[in-house]
Amino acid sequence: GIMILAAISITILLWTDLSNPYVWAVLTVLLGYGAVGFVDDYRKVVRKNTDGLIARWKYFWQSLIAFVVAFALYAYGKDTAATQLVVPFFKDVMPQLGLMYIILTYFVIVGTSNAVNLTDGLDGLAIMPTVLVAAGFAVIAWATGNVNFSEYLHIPYLPHASELVVVCTAIVGAGLGFLWFNTYPAQVFMG
């Protein structure tokens, strides 16, 4: 897990525009959740505590990180296309979420994290869906960050979203590098 986080973080710090708030939101969630996972694994391995971090504390830290990032994203994109909900295949259905954006973002961050954690049982099971989703998000970030394509596809144009293509491809690259050693029989584990 540490090597995956290091590869993604170094790539983000070297190749993205660090004045972009979306980049910092992703980096905050990545490193914050990575720290929670590290503490959980540390308690399991070093302290020989099979439970690791108590579930309520894990949920507390995940929630705190998610709410801070959700509120920061809302404050940055308030009253813009960034807080709209785009419903695929319905061109004119793009409701402005307002404060519901914070709640939806919270559930997406915490829910996604725990869903990935639940799938992490078999060799390569958690990382391959992560790689595929990151590749899909790279395409979405590129389309929403490009004036011509966002207009053509009738989706909101988000000027800073194209920077997330680098973030998503860093996740794809780190995930594929990890998968090489995590397929059956696994030589390394995510943690």
- Over residues 128-134, the mean pLDDT reads 94
Which value, to the nearest 10 degrees, does the dihedral of the CA atoms of residues 10, 11, 14, 20 take?
Answer: -110
With respect to residue 188, please indicate whether it lies within any of the assigned structural domains.
Answer: no
Q: Is the pLDDT of residue 190 over 80?
A: no
Domain housing 170: 2-182
Number of independent structural domains in the chain: 1
Within a domain: residue 187? no
Cis upstream peptide for 156 (omega within 30°): no
* CA 31/CA 5 separation, integer angstroms: 7
Mean pLDDT taken over the chain = 90
CB 94 within 8 A of CB 86: yes
190 domain-assigned:
no
The pTM assigned to this predicted structure is 0.89
pLDDT tens sequence across 76-113:
987 788 888 988 778 788 898 999 999 999 999 999 99
Residue 58: inside a domain: yes
Q: What is the pLDDT of residue 45?
A: 84
In-domain check, residue 95: yes
Percentage of the chain modeled with pLDDT above 70? 96
pLDDT of residue 121: 65
For residue range 55-71, list pLDDT tens digits in order: 999 999 999 999 999 99
Residue bearing tokens 């099979």: 50
Span of 12-26, 30-44, 97-111, 112-126 with lowest mean pLDDT: 112-126
Domain-embedded: residue 191: no
User: Does residue 66 sit within a domain?
Assistant: yes
Judge contact between 145 and 159, C-beta under 8 A.
yes
Return the CA Rg of the chain.
18
Residue 69 has, within 13 A of its CA and on its CB side, a CA count of: 25
Residue-wise pLDDT tens digits, 141-156: 999 999 999 999 888 8
Asked, for residue 189, whether it belongs to a domain, the answer is: no
Q: CA–CA separation, 51 vs 89, rounded Å? A: 44
